[in-house]
């Protein structure tokens, strides 16, 4: 059959096809090798997996040996295979460069810029642009340049202020108390909680709403999670998964509605509607909340205000859930850390545990940027405008940066043990990002995590039941359900 097909192809047709691919920028792997030593190496010389014309390397996650859930393992394998730097290609063969070396990561993240560019999650931006009645822009997370700067200055000043954050301390203490009561109530007769993710998600919801709306929603008081909380948590979870699928899959959602895009649109819709409901039922406490007030007072389009509150609530739930599950799991797996937490009144060790969790199991394991100046990375010349992925999570597990790098060892962050950390490698522990685009929720989360951990350890002795598996949901997440023992201490 193929013979018959090829008979109809003339030499000219072959030439036209070859020319077509060359015009699209496709080059076979041997193309540039010959002259490699005679000139400075640039982006096209960076090694990486097979790239197809137009589609680039995105086929790997749709037809190759890596599923979407294992994308974090794909990058670990690529680092083992290609070393310090690796290139993928997005649609129309746009290069996306991964860097794994401390020096390269530092160069990218420390290069200064007035308005740092983080590549947007295109599908969300696409959806928001299609809904001008709801969104005046693509939002703080996805906007760039002057527009991003305008939103950032107008929306996050109170959110990032230490005074505002410390005013939340009593509420966070109450949340930690309610969390411990809920654990007590829901354990089985063996002191086991069998789906930790679900309960911790309720903490994420309650905490994010307390921060943004300034009031307690009661998501931790009911034995059976309320319908609003369940829907909101499910929609946020779905939102991350479909963001991953549209981002790493073939971008055909730009041509027609794929299931991944439809689910993304549906989850955006649910989050927006539920968050709007919460805003509309604002009580006196909400009206007095510093974060809520600062958004309402901002001199910006009304649509931006709602979108910001939606984004703040959504940004906290899943990130906090993953981080808290990881923290409890690592502490449960290392019983000696529990004794040290109990014996340290200065709380230094507690903070060291949180930092070490972010080093060993960061939920955001990679930071993305578009370079605004030419850079030299691992001996390759990278042009301004290139998309770069800085794999801080992988660099944190490199023996050259941290001794016994895969071990959870909070003591390495204490002064007398600093030798466990190579000089300036601490820069790699950047769970909230860096520079002007740093997460505005950082201060709040840094207050929440040690506090909840301390309350839990004072009340319970923690034990793991089985090893935890990970899966990629745009964030590195526990592949639940995680079981854990919470045994009373008194």
Cα angle 431, 177, 226 (rounded to 5 degrees) comes to 85
Residue 118 as a binder of ligand HEM (CB under 6 A): the answer is yes
157-216 binders of ligand HEM (CB under 6 A)? 159, 208
Q: Which residue has the tokens 């709801």?
A: 134
What whole-number distance in Å separates Cα of residue 125 and Cα of residue 122?
Answer: 5
341-370 binders of ligand HEM (CB under 6 A)? 363-364, 367
Site string for ligand HEM, 235-254 (x = CB under 6 A): --------------------
Q: Does residue 117 sit in helix, strand or coil?
A: strand
The alpha carbon of residue 13 and the mean position of all alpha carbons in its chain are separated, in whole angstroms, by: 47
The least CB distance from residue 303 to ligand HEM, in Å, is 16
Residue 433 as a binder of ligand HEM (CB under 6 A): the answer is yes
Tell me how far apart the terminal alpha carbons of the chain are, to the nearest angstrom: 78
Tell me the C-alpha to C-alpha distance, in Å, between residue 278 and each of 155, 178, 220, 292, 307: 19, 21, 16, 12, 13
Question: Residue 462 — φ and ψ, nearest 5°?
Answer: -100, 140
Q: Which of 222, 185, 220, 224 is nearest to 205 (CA)?
A: 220
What whole-number distance in Å separates Cα of residue 243 and Cα of residue 230?
Answer: 20
CB 456, CB 180: distance < 8 Å: yes
Task: Kindly indicate which of the ranges 122-130, 298-306, 438-446, 453-461 contains the residues binding ligand HEM, using the contact rule CB under 6 A.
Answer: 438-446
396-415 binders of ligand HEM (CB under 6 A)? none
Please, is 211 exposed, middle or buried when counting C-beta atoms within 10 Å of its C-beta (0-12, 13-18, 19+)? buried
Quick one: which of 138, 294, 323, 421 contacts ligand HEM (CB under 6 A)? 323
Neighbours of 271 (CB within 10 A): 21
The least CB distance from residue 385 to ligand HEM, in Å, is 18
The least CB distance from residue 52 to ligand HEM, in Å, is 30
Residue 443 as a binder of ligand HEM (CB under 6 A): the answer is no
CB 298, CB 306: distance < 8 Å: no
CB 392, CB 366: distance < 8 Å: yes
The least CB distance from residue 272 to ligand HEM, in Å, is 16
Quick one: which of 432, 460, 472, 474 contacts ligand HEM (CB under 6 A)? 432
Residue 478 as a binder of ligand HEM (CB under 6 A): the answer is no
293-322 binders of ligand HEM (CB under 6 A)? 311-312, 315-316, 319-320
Task: Kindly indicate which of the ranges 177-185, 233-241, 331-339, 440-448 contains the residues binding ligand HEM, using the contact rule CB under 6 A.
Answer: 440-448
Is 60 or 325 the residue whose CB approaches ligand HEM more closely? 325
140-159 binders of ligand HEM (CB under 6 A)? 140-141, 152, 159
- Residues in binding site: 439
Tokens of residue 113, six digits: 């810029």
What whole-number distance in Å separates Cα of residue 246 and Cα of residue 124?
Answer: 9
What whole-number distance in Å separates Cα of residue 456 and Cα of residue 334?
Answer: 15
Residue 125 as a binder of ligand HEM (CB under 6 A): the answer is no
Tokens of residue 93, six digits: 């063969």
- Residues in binding site for heme: 439
Tokens of residue 320, six digits: 């906090």
Residue 438 as a binder of ligand HEM (CB under 6 A): the answer is yes
The least CB distance from residue 70 to ligand HEM, in Å, is 21
The least CB distance from residue 238 to ligand HEM, in Å, is 18
Task: Kindly indicate which of the ranges 166-174, 337-345, 409-417, 441-449 contains the residues binding ligand HEM, using the contact rule CB under 6 A.
Answer: 441-449
Residue 440 as a binder of ligand HEM (CB under 6 A): the answer is yes
What residues line the site for ligand HEM (CB under 6 A)?
Answer: 118, 140-141, 152, 159, 208, 311-312, 315-316, 319-320, 323, 363-364, 367, 431-434, 437-441, 444-445
């Amino acid at each position: 059959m193929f013979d018959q097909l090829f008979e109809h192809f003339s030499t000219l047709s072959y030439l036209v096809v070859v020319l077509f691919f060359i015009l699209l920028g496709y080059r076979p792997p041997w193309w540039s090798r010959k002259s490699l030593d005679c000139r400075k190496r640039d982006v096209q010389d960076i090694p990486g997996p097979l790239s197809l014309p137009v589609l680039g390397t995105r086929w790997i996650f749709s037809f190759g040996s890596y599923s979407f859930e294992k994308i974090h393992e794909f990058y670990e394998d690529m680092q083992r295979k290609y070393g310090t730097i690796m290139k993928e290609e997005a649609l129309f063969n746009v290069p996306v460069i991964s860097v794994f070396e401390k020096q390269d990561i530092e160069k990218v993240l420390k290069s200064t810029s007035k308005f740092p560019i983080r590549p947007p999650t295109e599908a969300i931006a696409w959806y928001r642009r299609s809904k001008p009645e709801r969104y005046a822009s693509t939002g703080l997370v996805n906007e760039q340049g002057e527009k991003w700067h305008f939103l950032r200055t107008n929306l996050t000043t109170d959110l990032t202020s230490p005074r505002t954050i410390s005013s939340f301390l009593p509420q966070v203490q109450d949340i930690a108390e309610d969390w411990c009561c809920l654990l007590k109530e829901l354990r089985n007769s063996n002191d086991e909680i069998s789906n930790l993710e679900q309960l911790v998600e309720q903490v994420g919801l309650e905490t994010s709403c307390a921060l943004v709306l300034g009031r307690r929603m009661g998501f931790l008081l009911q034995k059976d999670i309320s319908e609003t909380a369940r829907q909101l948590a499910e929609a946020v979870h779905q939102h991350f998964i479909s963001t991953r699928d549209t981002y790493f899959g073939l971008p055909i959602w730009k041509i027609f509605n794929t299931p991944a895009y439809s689910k993304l649109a549906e989850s955006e819709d649910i989050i927006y509607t539920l968050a709007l409901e919460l805003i509309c039922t604002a009580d006196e406490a909400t009206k007095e909340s510093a974060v809520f007030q600062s958004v309402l007072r901002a001199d910006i389009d009304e649509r931006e205000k709602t979108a910001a509150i939606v984004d703040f609530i959504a940004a906290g739930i899943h990130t906090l859930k993953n981080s808290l599950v990881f923290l409890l799991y690592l502490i449960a797996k290392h019983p000696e850390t529990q004794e040290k937490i109990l014996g340290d009144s200065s709380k230094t060790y507690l903070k060291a545990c949180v930092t070490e969790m972010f080093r060993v199991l960061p939920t955001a394991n990679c930071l993305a940027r578009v370079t605004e100046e030419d850079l030299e990375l691992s001996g390759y010349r990278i042009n301004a405008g290139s998309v770069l992925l800085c794999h801080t999570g992988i660099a944190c597990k490199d023996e050259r940066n941290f001794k016994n790098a895969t071990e959870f060892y909070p003591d390495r962050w204490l002064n007398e043990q600093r030798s466990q950390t190579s000089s300036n490698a601490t820069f790699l522990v950047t769970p909230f990002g860096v520079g002007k685009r740093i997460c505005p929720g950082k201060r709040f989360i840094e207050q929440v995590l040690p506090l909840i951990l301390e309350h839990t350890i004072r009340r319970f002795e923690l034990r793991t039941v089985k090893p935890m598996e990970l899966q990629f949901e745009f964030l590195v997440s526990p592949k639940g359900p995680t079981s854990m023992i919470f045994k009373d201490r008194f």
